[in-house]
Structure 1
Amino acid sequence: MLKKWKKQRNYYRFYGEVQAVGFRFTAAAAAEEYGATGWVRNEADESVSMELQGTEKQIRSVLGAIEGNSYIRIDRVESKPLAVIKNERGFEVKF
Structure 2
Amino acid sequence: MNFFRKKKKEPQPVIMTDNSIIRRHYRFTGIVQGVGFRVEVWKRAVDLGLRGWVKNNYDGSVECELQGSQEKMDHLVASMKKIPRIHIESISVHQIPLKQESGFEMMGY
How does the TM-score come out when normalised to structure 2?
0.78
Structure 1 unaligned residues grouped into runs of 5+: none
Q: Compare the two structures and name the one with the higher strand fraction.
A: 1
Cα RMSD for the two superposed structures: 1.6
Q: Which has the higher contact order (CA 8 A, sep 6+)?
A: 1
**Would you say the 8 A contact 1:34–1:61 is kept in 2?**
no
Partner of 2:79: 65
Q: Where do 4+ consecutive residues of structure 1 move more than 6 Å? A: none
Q: Compare the two structures and name the one with the higher helix fraction.
A: 1
Tell me the alpha carbon deviations over residues 10-62 of structure 1, each in whole angstroms, 9 at most, x when there is no partner. 00110000000110000000001111110000000000011011111111121
How does the TM-score come out when normalised to structure 1?
0.89
CA separation in 2, counterparts of 1:64 and 1:54?
16
Partner of 1:30: 44
1:9 equivalent in alignment to 2:23: yes
Greater C-alpha Rg: 2
Structure 2 unaligned residues grouped into runs of 5+: 1-15
